[in-house]
Each structure stands twice: as structure tokens, then as C-alpha cells.
Amino acid sequence: MVKEILIYPNKFLRTKTQEVEQLNSEILQLALDLIDTMRYYDGLGISANQIGKIYRLCAIDLDAVKEGKGFLVLANPTIVYKEGIEIDEEGCLSFPELYVKIQRASFIIVRAKKLNLKTRTFEDFEIQAKGLLARAIQHEIDHLNGILIIDYISPEKRAIIMKDWMDKIKTKQITYEQASVKEK
């Protein structure tokens, strides 16, 4: 089911999420809701705290990051290795129409529990990622830790960018919220 995405400055976006202990019906439904919501809003990825849930769970659209088909749903992802530097522009579903240049590792190795959507089970999982997939995974892990894209901007520059963004989004956010309500 499509859920409403929390928009900055919602304080829940700063919440550090809790480990997923086991796969149960609540976690499975949350994973499906993340996928539905991400697809509806054309996101590359989404984390549970972006829809008001406290769990350390995120989803990546593999088609959107050009790394295959389907969705990658990760519980308790941890970066165990990273190297290289890549600077690129990022957007975020919780900051509609805001794009920020962010420095990220160009290559990462991540361990997690991967949700197998066919068997509806968790599997131990390790992935080596580069390019857009690596960027998307790092972005979602940041969310799970309560870190936002604006945290990569100097305080002085952040104040200017956020004022401009808030002015720009004021009228559009009403439309965004109305669209969310209509779909429910």
C-alpha cells in the first residue's frame, strides 16, 4: 500500500532505526509498503523511517539504478568496506525538488539480511556495489542512521539552500500532501 512520505523538517527523519529481529507479518508488510511507495513516487530507494516506521529496513529499485530487475529489500544493512570517492548530485523523496552534490564512496561492500520476495524469507547477504547502486545504498543507510542529504552541506550554505527550498516547496507541498491523501 502506498504510504505518505515524511517531508523535512519532520523530526522522525532524524530517528535512528532499530534492528529488525525477525521476519514477521509486520516486517513483510512494511517491505511491500516500501516498494509500493517508492514506485508510486518514482524513487530509487526508500527507508522505513521515511514512512514513519522505526525499523532498519530499506528498499532499492534495481531497475532505476540500472543493476538488474526487481527490488532489493535489506534489513540491518552495514557497510563493511568502502573505497574511492565520487561526487554527484542526489535527490531525496523527503526533500522533493532538492538536489545536492554529495561525496560518497565509489565502491562499497554491504552485509545485510536480504528479503527474498518469492519465498518471503530473509537470507544472509553480501553485495559489492559501485556507481549509482552504491550511492543509493549509502543514501538509504544514512536515512536508517538519521542522516539526511543536507548534513553534507556546510552550515552556511545549508541555511541559504534550505531557505530557498522551503520557499519553493511551500505551495507545492500542499499539492504533494493532497496527492498522498487522494491515493489512500
Quote the CA–CA distance of 137 and 118 in Å, as a whole number: 22
C-alpha cell at 107: 565502491
- C-beta of residue 29 within 8 angstroms of C-beta of residue 55: no
Q: Which of 4, 19, 26, 140 is catalytic?
A: 140
Quote the CA–CA distance of 128 and 106 in Å, as a whole number: 11
Quote the CA–CA distance of 92 and 140 in Å, as a whole number: 10
**140 among known catalytic residues:** yes
Quote the CA–CA distance of 71 and 53 in Å, as a whole number: 19
Catalytic positions: 140
